[in-house]
Chains A and B, each alone.
Chain A
Amino acid sequence: MLQETAIILTAFVYLGVLFAIAYYADERADAGRSIIASPYIYSLSLAVYATAWTFYGSVGRAASDGVGFLPIYIGPTLMIALWWVVLRKIMRISKQNRITSLADFIASRYGKSALLGGLVTVIAVIGILPYISLQLKAVSNSFTILVQYPEIVMPAKVGALSIRQDTALWVALILATFTIAFGTRHLDAAEHHQGMVAAIAFESLVKLLAFLAVGVFVTFGIYDGFGDLFGRVSAVPKLRAMLTPLEGVAGGYANWVWLTILSMMAIMFLPRQFQVAVIENVDEKHLNKAIWLFPLYMLAINIFVLPIAFGGLLRFPDGSVDADTFVLTLPMAEKRELLALLVFIGGLSAATGMVIVETIALSTMVCNDLVMPVLLRLRRLRLNERRDLTGLLLGIRRGAIVLILLLGYLYYKLAGEAYALVSIGLISFAAVAQFAPAILGGIFWKGGTRAGALWGLLAGFAVWLYTLFLPALARSGWLPLGLLEQGPFGIELLKPLQLFGLAGLDQISHAMIWSMIANVGAYVIVSLSASPSADEHRQASLFVDVFKHSGEAGGARFWRGTASVSDLYSLLARFLGTATADSAFGEYASAKGLNWPDERLIADAELVHYIEVQLAGAIGAASARVMVAAVAKEEALTIDEVREILDEASQVVVYSHKLEQKSRELEAATAELREANERLKELDRLKDDFISTVTHELRTPLTSIRAFTEILLDTPDVEVEQRKKFLGIITKEAERLTRLINQVLDLAKIESGKADWVESGVDMKQVISDTLAAMSQLFKEKNIKVEARLPEKVSTVTVDLDRMVQVMLNLLSNAVKFCDAANGRVEIALAEREGCLWVDVRDNGRGISPGDQEIIFQKFHQVGDALTDKPHGSGLGLHISRQIVEHFGGRMWVESSLGGGARFSFTLPTGAAT
């Protein structure tokens, strides 16, 4: 069943499914119901990292040096742990500046330099070519092997092919068509390709499932689980050494570490990873899930690599089968046709996913950072006067995609056969690692300059060309091999694989060491040796302090000049089309509260900056800068002015923070003052009331004392009996006066908080009994029946004993005063419940009307008719009693009805509650 046509048909059906998914996702996106706005889709799309290299090449690598394939996945896991710090910052910067690619990012950071953007693009394209050729090689090899079924023949032995049978070329052309259909259907100002992302996520699922299927088949189908497989491996002497694989190889650990570092860079700076992780990201929050889901994906796709590698080594011990093909050849050798077909599709999805995203990312870079800046500068073309440039932009991108894939094919033809899959891929990794100093330095170090980045990149790339690219061409026979063996012109020290005599490392570690020294060294030294220009200074600040600047308006501060709204509009319309330009202007106007185009916009710094950012989304920051500068008459800012603006801005921020804090403090203080003032006023009023009441109260007894004294003085012949009576009244009134003064003093003490409270454990039952005993004479005189209901035992309360006696005396004497004159009766009850002691004192007097029940607790309030009733006390007793009870955390209140007697109650919290 595995005929050529069937295989080709399956492959095309699969590609058709992919296209359908992409089409559906794009339709949904246009309808505003995006299906990729999910952290799971985002995580799966990141797995575009796993290419044909992972799918076929990992096994090949594992078959030669065991765990040596793993740093490629462990490195990214470690890097992803830093994503929260690093990638989140890059994402934020890219969103604010409408960054469209890696080249755009670097160009934009270093003063929107078109030169730098172009250089990054060239490095990326040349550096990625081996990687693309790897995918072409993998797909064409797997196809060539599969059509030989049931024979297993390596592609090299199949023999020379005519153009018609040159699978790699056909694969390249089909992928180019496919990518064009995916990525350049229309121009999006934000460079979002939702359909592509959905398709990539689907491909990630397919390749994972295919690989796991082979893994499970080999481990549990051919062999009897991991133990059985590894047991058989250790029985073969030739393979046993691979079980502790880091020993034998020279520089084993060093190679391991360099590979880890290399792939840490790759996961950030491969153009396709940058594309899916940063550009295509729709929500920063998706990072939370991706941070662990994506490493988990890598773990899952690697679990069966070693079993498959060892399974292949055991199955094909004579070395006739290339280890890079074990994934496919094992199912074929076991006559599992469907599984073999699934593997082919899995490998196809791994390869197509990589090629699609990578070429889209590269074509954007080629268009925005290489071709457009040149075209825009060529005045002869008069591009500035063209009405609509969207077609041109799409055309350039499509051309770039075809060109890149054909170059990849060329590299495959030139150098592809001499290397294993992984070695080809690592050459590309080392190339993109050259971006690391410029980007990481750029987002954390304001001192990095355009010249520094330029020289760093040039130096690193030159070393890469010399130590990796050149040897690859030499090994394939395009350059003399003597170059590698004796060095150029016979100079041993300059041997590309042992530069300056550094030996004992593998080719990649060797290249990484020298290129990083050159790159970082040049970047730092050149950056430090000259001061940055105004543009660089501004961009450095915008990038490094991205979390401090708010919104896209951050850049508007730095613009000074004049422009006209209609010029800006036509500029935007030329690159994005009138519909997009209309909606962009509409959005801007409505944010300002204006109704465009009925109301006029002002072409101020903010609008100009807004247009530049919109434009940057389509043609890159450097080109956008050039275009806007052409339309708007700008005044260049000097470096000092930029510094001033930056300093001003940061000072203003600091200052406004301080001001805010100050004003909050002031508000709080004002509120406190107002409250204190209110309290003071109230106290003042109370004091006035108090004084007038006290003087009034003092005057009453004084008046009667004075009146009776005057009578006695004026009439010496008062009868003895009468005189005695008068003197009795005088004494009584004097006593009342004394008592009143004592109570006033007492109250003053309590209210001012100066009273001495002597607290101790007090048994309230004892207090009540003592008070009753002390008053028993009074009760007898007034003929009042007293009934006390006291429990056996109550908890002690922590109070002042004397004060409690004072309270009880007060309540009881009140009860005596007010109880029924003829048939007096007073009841006292003590109980303990709800963590409190409850004391009730009930009399059977005339009661207190509901309106008076609260008033009697106020100072100097006595119930009764002031005209007919004689005052019965000072009017302070109940007030003081309540103050005392409340001081100890209790409450005091009265329940009563007119004619029904009154019950005064208070509670005191027992020890447990206080």
Chain B
Amino acid sequence: MSEFESKGQRFVALCMLGMLLFNYPILALFNVSGTLFGVPVLYAYIFIAWAALIALMAFIAESGGRR
């Protein structure tokens, strides 16, 4: 498998992970009252998951793919 293909597959998998994280029912788990560091749980969850997703994207984009 070429480097380009393996990188592409990783990105597709990451997109699927993102769709899972930002969709029912995972989203509903965090749609509760209460706060995290003073921020409502749902807002905190969305921003943290979003940041994590971007970090993974950076990792895959900048790495050379599977050796």
Which chain B residues border A80 with CB–CB below 8 Å? 57
A295 touches B31 (CB 8 A): no
CB–CB B54/A77 < 8 A: yes
Q: Pick the contact of A299: B23, B27, B40, B50 (CB < 8 A).
A: B50
Q: Could you tell me the distance between the alpha carbons of A287 and B7 in the complex, rounded to whole angstroms?
A: 13
Partner of A84, one of B24, B33, B61, B62: B61
Residue of B nearest to A89 (CB): B8
**CB pair B24 A243 closer than 8 Å:** no
0/1 interface trace, chain B 40-67, chain A, CB 8 Å (1 if under): 1011001100110111011001100000
Known: A77-B18, A82-B11, A227-B38. A244 touches B32 (CB 8 A): yes
The closest CB in chain A to the CB of B59 belongs to A292
Which chain A residue has the least Cβ–Cβ distance from B17?
A81
Are A246 and B7 within 8 A (Cβ)? Answer: no
Interface size class of B (residues with CB under 8 A): 20 to 34
Known: A78-B19, A244-B42, A292-B57. A230 touches B11 (CB 8 A): no
The residue from A71, A77, A231, A306 contacting B53, defined by CB atoms under 8 A apart: A77
Most buried by B among A225, A243, A256, A289: A243
Please report the C-alpha to C-alpha distance between residue A81 and residue B42 in the assembled complex, in whole angstroms. Answer: 23
A271 to B: closest C-beta gap in Å:
24
With A67-B43, A227-B38, A246-B42 as given contacts, are A85 and B27 in contact (CB-CB < 8 Å)?
no
- CB closest chain-A residue, reference B14: A81
- Does A227 lie within 8 Å of B54, measured CB to CB? no
Contact B8 A84 (CB under 8 A): yes
Instruction: Count A-B pairs with CB separation below 8 Å.
Output: 103
Across the interface, name the chain A residue whose C-beta is closest to B63. Answer: A288
A window 617-636: CB within 8 A of B: none
- Cβ distance B9 to chain A, nearest Cβ, rounded Å: 9
A691 in contact (CB, < 8 A): no
Measured in the bound complex, the distance between the Cα atoms of B65 and A879 in whole Å is 55
Contact A230 B38 (CB under 8 A): yes
Closest chain B residue to A225, Cβ basis:
B38
* A71 surroundings in chain B (CB, below 8 A): 22
Taking CB atoms and an 8 Å cut-off, the chain A residues in 197-253 that contact chain B are 225-228, 230-231, 243-247, 253
- B39 in the interface (beta carbon within 8 A): yes
The reply to whether A257 and B50 form a contact with Cβ atoms under 8 Å apart is no
**A296 within 8 Å of B by Cβ?**
yes
Q: With A77-B50, A81-B57 in contact, is A253–B27 under 8 Å at CB?
A: yes
Determine whether the beta carbon of B61 is less than 8 Å from that of A288.
yes
| B14 near A227: Cβ-Cβ < 8 Å | no
Measured between beta carbons, the chain A residues less than 8 angstroms from B1 are none
| Contact A231 to B38, CB < 8 A, known contacts A78-B15, A292-B57, A299-B47 | yes
B27 and A246 contact, CB distance less than 8 A: yes
Q: Does A844 contact B (CB under 8 A)?
A: no
B residues less than 8 Å from A231 (CB atoms): 38
A83 neighbours in B (Cβ, 8 Å)? 11
Which of B14, B23, B32, B42 lies in contact with A67, CB distance below 8 A? B42
- Given the complex of chains A and B, what is the CA–CA distance between A71 and B24 in angstroms? 13
Map CB proximity to B onto A39-78 as digits: 1 under 8 Å, 0 otherwise.
Answer: 0000000000000000000000000000100110010011
Set of chain A residues within 8 Å of B42, measured between Cβ atoms: 67, 243-246
Q: Which of B8, B37, B40, B50 contacts A244 (CB 8 A)?
A: B40
A227 and B51 within 8 A (CB)? no
List B contacts of A321 (CB < 8 A): none
Q: A85-B11, A227-B37, A299-B54 are in contact. Are A70 and B46 (CB under 8 A)?
A: yes
B-chain residues with CB within 8 Å of residue A257 when the two chains form the complex = 23-24
Please name the residue on chain B nearest to A233 by beta carbon.
B40
Interchain nearest-CB distance for A70 vs B (Å): 6
What's the dominant secondary structure at chain B's contact region?
A: helix
Chain A positions 570-603 with a Cβ under 8 Å from a chain B Cβ: none
Residues of B with C-beta under 8 A to A77: 18, 50, 53-54, 57
Residue contact B39 to A291, C-beta cutoff 8 Å: no
Min C-beta distance of A821 to chain B, whole Å? 70
Residue of A70, A84, A245, A299 touching B7 (CB-CB under 8 A): A84
Which residues of chain A are near B51, meaning CB under 8 Å? 299
- In the bound assembly, the distance between CA atoms of A664 and B27 in angstroms comes to 56
Any B CB within 8 A of the CB of A303: yes
Nearest CB of chain A from residue B61's CB, rounded to whole Å = 4
In the docked arrangement, what's the CA distance between A510 and B53, Å?
29
A108 interface residue per 8 A CB criterion: no
Known: A67-B43, A82-B11, A299-B47. A246 touches B28 (CB 8 A): yes
A257: nearest chain-B partner, CB-CB: B23
Chain B contacts of A70 at CB under 8 A? 46
* B22 lies within 8 A of A260 (CB): yes
Are A82 and B12 in contact, with the CB atoms below 8 A?
Answer: yes
Residues of B close to A78: CB separation below 8 A: 15, 18-19, 22
A245 and B27 alpha carbons, distance in the complex (Å): 11
Contact of A296 with B54 in the complex, beta carbons under 8 Å: yes
Chain B neighbourhood of A246, CB < 8 A: 27-28, 31, 42
* Given the contacts A84-B11, A85-B11, A67 and B22 also touching, CB distance less than 8 Å: no
**A243-B39 Cα distance, complex, nearest whole Å:** 9
A82/B15 in contact, CB under 8 A: yes
Q: How near does chain B come to A252, taking the closest CB pair, in angstroms? A: 9
State which of A227, A228, A244, A289 has its C-beta within 8 Å of the C-beta of B61: A289
Complex alpha-carbon distance, A49 and B51, angstroms = 19
Given A67-B43, A78-B22, A253–B11 Cβ distance below 8 Å?
no
A601 to B16 Cα, complex, angstroms = 53
* CB proximity of A545 to chain B, nearest CB, Å: 15
- Whether A292 contacts B39 by the Cβ 8 Å rule is no
Contact of A85 with B54 in the complex, beta carbons under 8 Å? no
From B22, B35, B46, B47, contact of A230 by CB (8 A):
B35
Q: How far is the CA of A231 from the CA of B24 in the complex (A)?
A: 27
A70 to B53, CA, bound (A): 15
Q: How far is the CA of A292 from the CA of B50 in the complex (A)?
A: 11
> How distant is the Cα of A287 from the Cα of B33 in the complex, in angstroms?
39
Q: Contacts A85-B12, A225-B38 hold; do A244 and B33 have CB atoms under 8 A apart?
A: yes
CA distance A85 to B28 in the complex (A): 30
A220 to chain B, nearest CB (A): 13
- A291–B15 Cα distance when bound, in Å, is 12
Residue of A nearest to B5 (CB): A85
* Cβ B11 vs Cβ A81 within 8 A: yes
Query: Could you tell me the distance between the alpha carbons of A253 and B27 in the complex, rounded to whole angstroms?
Result: 9
Cβ–Cβ contact B18 & A81, under 8 A: yes
Chain A residue nearest to B10 (CB atoms) is A84
Q: Tell me which residues across on chain B come within 8 A of A295, comparing CB atoms.
A: 50, 53-54, 57
Q: Determine the distance from Cα of A231 to Cα of B37 in the docked complex, in whole angstroms.
A: 11
Contacts of A245 in B (CB 8 A): 31, 42
Distance in angstroms between the alpha carbons of A78 and B17 in the assembled complex: 9
22 sampled A-B residue pairs with Cβ under 8 A: A67-B46, A70-B46, A77-B18, A80-B57, A84-B11, A85-B8, A85-B11, A225-B38, A227-B37, A230-B38, A230-B39, A243-B42, A244-B32, A244-B42, A246-B27, A253-B24, A260-B22, A289-B62, A292-B58, A292-B61, A295-B50, A299-B50
**Beyond the given A74-B46, A79-B15, A299-B47, could you list 5 further A-B residue pairs with CB under 8 A, ordered by the A residue number?**
A77-B57, A244-B33, A246-B27, A260-B22, A291-B61
Please report B residues at the A interface, Cβ cutoff 8 Å.
Answer: 7-8, 11-12, 14-15, 18-19, 22-24, 27-28, 31-33, 35, 37-40, 42-43, 46-47, 50-51, 53-55, 57-58, 61-62
Q: Chain A interface (Cβ within 8 Å of chain B)? A: 67, 70-71, 74, 77-85, 225-228, 230-231, 243-247, 253, 256-257, 260, 287-289, 291-292, 295-296, 299, 303, 306
CB-CB nearest 5 A-B residue pairs: A227-B38, A292-B58, A81-B15, A253-B24, A291-B61
